[in-house]
Structure formats: structure tokens, C-alpha cells
Structure 1
Amino acid sequence: MLELISAARRRKRPPTHQLFDVVTLEFRVGLLDIDLNMHLNNAKYLKFMDRSRLEHAVVTGSLNRMIEARCNVVVANTEIAYIRELRPYQQFQVHTRILGWDDKYVYYDQRFESQRKLHTHALVRVVNVHGGKSISPQSAQDITGMHLNSPPLPEYVEQWKRLLQSKKRLTETD
């Protein structure tokens, strides 16, 4: 809750980063963040990812534009690869960047690193919402006045999109 209040207070400051810049936050694994295996609980990763995407929105100025336009963002899908565990009191960074967008979703890349080693890699795709309905990234840009072109999405994102489409087709045939 305090993070949301802090972000709301800072949202009107001039942007310090461009939309496609990597934004890095530092964290430490707390005792309330661990599970029975004595490492960072998998649900806590999502909390750190949310916090890092919020910070990305603050420092790029997109949060202020979205709030003023009465738009918001909802996570549609997340894919996480746990590579190395994070132990109690271990310091780590979350590196967050927007990779680009297609006609429906905006794609984020988030990496958890400690001592320059990759511990966890996540892909997140979000949908923009305005007036209670999902809108395209292009419509969100029109509403917020942010007019940028998306770089081509990396091949690993295109592969992920194909996997998600396959999963969707499976649920439609059940």
C-alpha cells in the first residue's frame, strides 16, 4: 500500500527514463518472503515484478499519463523461469523493460539478478483498459498522447505468443 502511495506522489515528476529503457530496483529477500525451502517464495516474485513495473511506469512518465486518461493496465499472462534460488537476506535487482506491443498486448521482460547472475527470468503481457473495456496499445497511446512505434518483438516473445495461442485453442475445444 505504501508503494502505491509513494508512486502516486511521485507520478507528476518529470520522467527520468525513456519508455524502452531498463529500470532497475534493488531488493533484499526478507524473512516473510521465504517458503519452507528457505528461498524466495514463488508468489513473492509476482509482488516484486508488480512493484518493478509500477516503478517503470513512474520513472517513464507513463503512470501519470495513464491516470490522467483514466486508463489502467491488467496483467493477462506471465511466464517465469526459475533458474537459481534467492536465499534469505540475499540482495537482488529486478531489471524491467518494455519490449514492445502488438495489436492487443504490451510485453515486458523482467529479470532477477544477484551478483551479476541471472536467477529468474519472466515475460509479462498486459492489456490496457479504458472505461472497463480492453483497448489496443495504439488506442491507449491515442488517449494518453504517447505516440511511439513498437520495435519488433524478439523471437522468444513470438514463440511465447504462439504457445499461448495453442493453449487458447485447447480450451476452446474442451
Structure 2
Amino acid sequence: MLELISAARRRKRPPTHQLFDVVTQEYRVGLLDIDLNMHLNNAKYLKFMDRCRLEHAVVTGLLNRMIEARCNGVVANTEISYIRELRPYQQFQVHTRILGWDDKYVYYDQRFESQRKLHTHALLRVANVYGGKSISPQTLQEITGFNQTSPALPEYVEQWKRLLQTKRRLTESD
């Protein structure tokens, strides 16, 4: 809750980063963040990822524009690869960036690193919502005046999109 209040207070400050910049935040694994295996609980990763996407939106000016336009983003899909564990009191950084968008979603890349080693990698796709309905990233830009061109999405994101389309077709045929 405090992060939301802080973000709301800071949202009108001039942006310090460009939309496609990597925004990095530092953390330390606390005792309330661990599970029975004595490492960062998998649910806590999502909490840190939410915090970091919020911070990315604040420092790029995206949050202010979305609030003023009465738009918001909703996570539609998340893919996480746990590579190395994060132990109690271990310091780590979360690197967050927007990779780009297609006609429906905005794609985020989030990486958890400690001592310059990758511990966890996540891909997310976020749907934009206005008036209770999903809108395209292009429509969001029109509403917010945040006119940017998306770079080509990396091949690994295109492969993930194909996997999600296949999963959707399989669930629709059941």
C-alpha cells in the first residue's frame, strides 16, 4: 500500500527514464519473504515484479499519463524461469523493461540478479484497459499522447506468443 501512495505522490515528477530504458531496483531477501526451503518464496517474486513495473511506470512518466487518461494495465500472462535461488538476507536487483507491443499486449522483461548472475527471468504481457474494456497499445497511445514506436519483439517473445496461442486453442477445443 505504501508503494502505491509513494507512486501516486511521485507520478507528476518529470520522467527520469525513457519508455524502453531498463529500470533497476535493489532489494534484500527478508525473513518474511522465504518459504520452507529457505529461499525466496515464488509468490514474493510476483510482488517484487509488481513493485518494479510500478516504479518503471513512475520514472518513465507512463503512470501519470495513464492515470490522467483513466487507463490501467492488467497482467494477462506471466512466464517465470527460476534459475538460482535467492537466500535470506541476499541482496538482489530487479531489472525491468518494456520490450515492445503488438496489436493487443505490451510485453515486459524482468530479471532478478545478484552479484551479476541471473537468478530468475520473467516475461509478462499486459493488456491495457479503458472504461472496463481492453484497448490496443495503439489506442492507449492515442488516449495518453504517449506516441512511441514499438521495436520488433525479440524472437523468444514471438515463440512465447505462439505457445500461448496453441494453449488457447487447446483449451477452447476441450
> TM-score when scaled to structure 2?
1.00
Deviant stretches of 4+, over 4 Å? none
- Provide the C-alpha distance between the structure 1 equivalents of 2:153 and 2:140, rounded to a whole number of angstroms: 19
> Is 1:113–2:113 an aligned residue pair?
yes
Map of 1:76-91 to 2, 5 A cutoff? 76-91=76-91
| Offset from partner CA, 1:115-157 (integer Å, 9 cap, x none) | 0000000000000000000000000000000111100000000
Q: Which letter maps to 1:29?
A: V
> Counterpart in 1 of 2:103?
103
- Provide the C-alpha distance between the structure 2 equivalents of 1:87 and 1:129, rounded to a whole number of angstroms: 37
- Provide the C-alpha distance between the structure 2 equivalents of 1:19 and 1:76, rounded to a whole number of angstroms: 20
Deviation at 1:7, TM superposition (A): 0.2
> Counterpart in 1 of 2:68?
68
- Provide the C-alpha distance between the structure 2 equivalents of 1:80 and 1:171, rounded to a whole number of angstroms: 21
User: Size of the alignment, in residue pairs?
Assistant: 174
- Provide the C-alpha distance between the structure 1 equivalents of 2:91 and 2:51, rounded to a whole number of angstroms: 16
- Provide the C-alpha distance between the structure 2 equivalents of 1:89 and 1:142, rounded to a whole number of angstroms: 44
RMSD of the alignment, in Å? 0.2
> Counterpart in 1 of 2:41?
41
Q: Per the alignment, in what secondary structure is the counterpart of residue 112 of structure 1?
A: strand
Structure 1 gap segments, 5+ residues each: none
Q: Per the alignment, in what secondary structure is the counterpart of residue 157 of structure 1?
A: helix
| Offset from partner CA, 1:83-135 (integer Å, 9 cap, x none) | 00000000000000000000000000000000000000000000000000000
> Is 1:133–2:133 an aligned residue pair?
yes
What is the identity percentage for the equivalent residue pairs of Structure 1 and Structure 2?
89
- Provide the C-alpha distance between the structure 2 equivalents of 1:9 and 1:36, rounded to a whole number of angstroms: 37
Deviation at 1:49, TM superposition (A): 0.2
Structure 2 gap segments, 5+ residues each: none
